[in-house]
Structure 1
Amino acid sequence: MLSNFQGSAKSLVELLKKQGVEDASVLKTIENTPRHLFVDDVLKHKSYENTALPIGQGQTISQPFIVAKMTEVLKQVGVSGKVLEVGTGSGYQTAILAQQFDEVYSIERIKSLQWQARRRLHQLDLYNVNMKHGDGWQGWSARAPFAGIIVTAAAKSVPQALLSQLQDGGAMVIPIGTDDQVLTLFVRQGDDFIHHKLAPVRFVPLIEGEVS
């Protein structure tokens, strides 16, 4: 699946290393996952550039550096087992998570995007992903608690429902803000949540509700 893009994928990984991604397993997964399957045909030539790309419905496939970094951060703080992704989008971040964690639960508010993402994941034989069409602000309480949560759109404030669905010791990586967004890590310690600001970022907004 990667044959025509193997060189481009290797070059992308070398760039991610230079930008500070250190986790060898995450880098290998980025290199071996065919990002061109997750974008429209007219954008395939940009698949392995370190940039976000439009996927329709006003949404984007995240920059590979951000995908790698958010995944790496969860692993660095000891997350393993069950992870929730808020915002399936193209399914690319989902595919990376599915190869790094035992179980992935992914919510998408736009049903057509969710359907396309499911098809791509099955094409890659990734079947440890449970998908839900719903409001990401509310999380997935029926499957909580989660060891880790990744939010792939910027919330104007911290979604309390998501914090409540973290297990003790669990961690959430989420962009917070509207105009000035900051990638933020929350770690649960009992009823307390320790937060660390990681980096300025640019994401599409996390919108409440769902679209059929």
Structure 2
Amino acid sequence: MMYATREEMIENQLKARGIKDSRVLDAMWNVDRSLFIPDDVKPHTYDDGPLPIGRGQTISQPYIVAYMAQILNISPDDKILEIGTGCGYNAAVLARLARHVYSIEIIEWLAETAKGNLEKAGVTNVSIKQDDGYKGWPEKAPFDGVMLTAAPPFIPSPLKEQLKICGRLIAPIGITNQRLVLIERKSENEFSREDLILVSFVPMRGEAEK
């Protein structure tokens, strides 16, 4: 069986599907995905799909990681909030695009795994908190961008409120049929919404389930 290479990931999975942002492509090239997955799936490191990382959890498909980062349009001085650290791979990609990433993971073992993975990868500008991401990280707000990597049935209000004016939030929304949604804060009380592609993410746990 032929496994995808890093070069094939960039050319066939990303560029061929419309990932054009040079900074996103550079981040995807430079973050070693193999550092964030178990040994038994390392041959599949750059395959075009999610991979199991244990206990029913997965690492996202490279294309989805790149697509969400490109849509968020991150600048080098930006401060980003990530809800759902997982194994830390997405945070590592965001960390190459932003000044600092604040990431919240509700599952304790995943939060600890992510910390170890990010340390192995030499990433120093990510802060991880083990908590319910529903209420965000108010003491670090406001954020230039917010990214959810787990799907709530609707966007939690605290996350929208922690956006800067002109800040952008991207999230998968829905229970069975999920769609990526882009929210942009236009003013103190005005938000725009754009529906994007269909996706499949794990459900957001905690307060979002109620």
TM superposition score normalised by structure 1 = 0.91
Query: Could you tell me which of 61, 64, 77 is aligned with 1:63?
Result: 61
**1:146 lines up with 2:143 in the alignment:** yes
Partner residue, 1:133: 130
Partner residue, 1:97: 94
Q: Secondary structure at the match of 2:118?
A: helix
Tell me the distance in 2 between the aligned counterparts of 1:160 and 1:50. 33
Tell me the distance in 2 between the aligned counterparts of 1:38 and 1:79. 24
Tell me the distance in 2 between the aligned counterparts of 1:110 and 1:40. 18
Give structure 1 stretches of 5+ with no counterpart.
Answer: none
Query: Contact 2:35–2:121 at 8 Å: present in 1 too?
Result: no
Partner residue, 1:14: 11
Q: Secondary structure at the match of 2:206?
A: coil
| Aligned residue identity for 1:69 | Y
The aligned length equals 203
| Aligned residue identity for 1:64 | P
Q: Secondary structure at the match of 2:183?
A: strand
Query: Contact 2:76–2:97 at 8 Å: present in 1 too?
Result: no
Q: Map 1:110-125 onto structure 2 (within 5 A).
A: 110-125=107-122
In terms of mean alpha carbon deviation, does 79-88 or 168-177 score higher? 79-88
Query: Contact 2:105–2:111 at 8 Å: present in 1 too?
Result: yes
Q: Secondary structure at the match of 2:5?
A: helix
Q: Percent identity?
A: 40
In terms of mean alpha carbon deviation, does 167-176 or 24-33 score higher? 24-33
Partner residue, 2:164: 167
Query: Could you tell me which of 141, 166, 181 is aligned with 2:178?
Result: 181
Report the Cα offset of residue 73 of structure 1.
0.7
Query: Contact 1:149–1:171 at 8 Å: present in 2 too?
Result: yes
The 1:95/1:69 distance shift into structure 2, 3 A limit, reads: same
Query: Contact 1:89–1:117 at 8 Å: present in 2 too?
Result: yes
Q: Secondary structure at the match of 1:44?
A: helix
Report the Cα offset of residue 161 of structure 1.
1.1
| Aligned residue identity for 1:17 | K
Partner residue, 2:191: 193
**1:75 lines up with 2:34 in the alignment:** no
Partner residue, 2:81: 84
Report the Cα offset of residue 79 of structure 1.
8.6
TM superposition score normalised by structure 2 = 0.92
Q: Deviations over 1:83-107 (max 9, x none)?
A: 0000000100000000000010000
Query: Contact 1:79–1:171 at 8 Å: present in 2 too?
Result: no
What RMSD, in angstroms, separates the aligned Cα atoms of the two structures?
1.6
| Aligned residue identity for 1:29 | A
Partner residue, 1:43: 41
Tell me the distance in 2 between the aligned counterparts of 1:171 and 1:57. 32
Q: Secondary structure at the match of 2:103?
A: strand
Query: Contact 1:79–1:147 at 8 Å: present in 2 too?
Result: no
Tell me the distance in 1 between the aligned counterparts of 2:191 and 2:51. 33
